[in-house]
Amino acid sequence: MTQANLGMVRSVALVGLLALANGTSFAQITTPQVAERQWEDFSRVQKTLPEGWSVISGDWRVDQGVLVVDSLNSEAYVTFGETSWQNYEVEASVTFREVRNPSRWLSVLIRATRDGTTPWSQVPIRFDTTQLNGVEFAVRTAARDWSIRSKAAVASASQLNQTRRLKVIVRGSRIEGFLDGQLVVSSQLCVDRPTGCIGLGVSGCVAAFDDVSVRHLPPSQASLIVSTGRCEVVAHRGYSAVAPENTLAAIREAIEAGASGCEFDVYSCRGGTVVLMHDKTVDRTTNGMGPVTELNLKQLQQLDAGSWKHARYAGESVPKLTEALKLLKDTGCQPVIEIKMEGISKQVVNDVRTLNMVDQVAVIAFSENVVREIRELEPRITCAWLCSKTLTGNPAEQADWLAARAGACGAKLLDLNFSMLSPELIVELKSRGLGVWTWTVNEAVVMRALQQWGVDSITTDRPDLLSR
């Protein structure tokens, strides 16, 4: 570290704070703030960790002026700072010295506890940062469980003994991860702890850390709560956490759990009957093989679609759409039909009409053509366009793009991957007259945050986690 850096203990930071404007929109407020910056430049004569640093696991030592950890066959963590810290920017120079395999990683921890009690969050970089999950925003939710809420690849992989600069900024629920000065991952879902200390972590490698700096940012001044109203809970592929997906058993479990809706996927088999199936083939969820479209109804009904989940579901068959609709009719649990292929919109509408359920069902699809066809065939059926994309631009620009796509297919509802969402985007979409559904969320803490942001419906494998 240079002498200039050692002397820098204060700096001016421009910090964006979210403020709720008149209860309907957000405004960006940028205010110059003085934030103290703390540096840790490990001394060449120092042998032990600095005062206030706590080893959670692993072999950490100061060697030749850098912090080194040997954890080739395990994970290792160290924490420092105060658990009362809320918003901050932390940077470190990081180096892989040995790795067990290219997927191993090192990380900066944020919103952590001193003793490593879960939950806590981190931004790890893998040795091979060109992998799809080369850089992540991850939350350790339990001793062996991770929740990956954002991930991205970087153009260049790390090299042994190459130093890279990792920076993490956390403000309220928003987290940003930078590698070598470039923003790589971001998420609005740093919601597991409102405050926490900082740390470093490694898995399956020997790594070195140096020039660790922390800049304290002003506390968040405004709540992100936009709505405390009702949020529908839709069981994903039925109550698929407990029963085999897309079966009548999973639908019964969803009704019993009190889900607001029950989502399931449909294809047309050979002969034209619409049946429940998520994949193009039956291979994963039945004891058969082959594309759904090449098997007739009799062949499908002879398959076992339940044993793969549990022996008690042995003999569950592949249901027809009409069977699923009959089971849900007048239960108060809305059928949400995801159409997985083009060319079957008319048959789906006919099945719904036959059972006099046009006012009870919803149809969703990634295909704009499918959504447009359903709207034209039967305008009374609720429709949502599914989307899972990385959006660019500010929230207003993102909302403009989504609104244009929804308008092109006649949809007033968007069903978006939860990782796309922010409170600002939801406000912008609703100001354009669009409803916002989201999928697939299986953590209560994330569900509660999305509900507070104003999401209208959450699709989940665990409808028991959020009461109606």
Range of the domain at 377: 232-465
186 and 76 in a single domain? The answer is yes
* pLDDT value, residue 34: 43
**Lowest-pLDDT range of 12-26, 74-88, 220-234:** 12-26
- H/E stretch holding 436: strand 435-439
Q: Are residues 293 and 440 in the same domain?
A: yes
Domain membership flag for residue 147: yes
What is the full DSSP assignment across 221-239? -S------S--EEEETTTT
> In the 8-state DSSP scheme, what is residue 369?
H
Tens digits of residue pLDDT in 119-155: 999 999 999 999 999 999 999 999 889 999 999 999 9
Are residue 251 and residue 158 in the same domain, yes or no? no
265: domain CATH number? 3.20.20.190
Q: Let me know if residue 27 belongs to a domain.
A: no
- Whole-number percent of the chain with pLDDT over 90: 86
My answer on whether 134 and 251 are in the same domain is no
Number of structural domains, the chain? Answer: 2
Is residue 336 domain-shared with residue 390, that is, in the same domain? yes
Q: Are residues 183 and 242 in the same domain?
A: no
Q: How far is the C-alpha of 361 from the C-alpha of 338, rounded, in Å? A: 11
pLDDT of residue 327: 98
Let me know whether 321 and 433 are in one domain: yes
Query: Which pTM was predicted?
Result: 0.88
Q: Is residue 12 part of a domain?
A: no
**Confidence class for position 40, pLDDT limits 50, 70, 90:** confident
| Residue 46: pLDDT band with limits 50, 70, 90 | confident
**Is 89 contained in some domain?**
yes
Does residue 271 lie in a domain region?
Answer: yes
Q: Is residue 454 part of a domain?
A: yes
How far apart CA 254 and CA 249 sit, in angstroms, is 9
Q: Residue 8 domain-assigned? A: no
Confidence of residue 7 (pLDDT cuts 50, 70, 90): very low
Q: Exposed, middle or buried by CB within 10 Å (0-12, 13-18, 19+), for 255? A: middle
Is 241 in the same domain as 179?
no
30 part of a folded domain: no
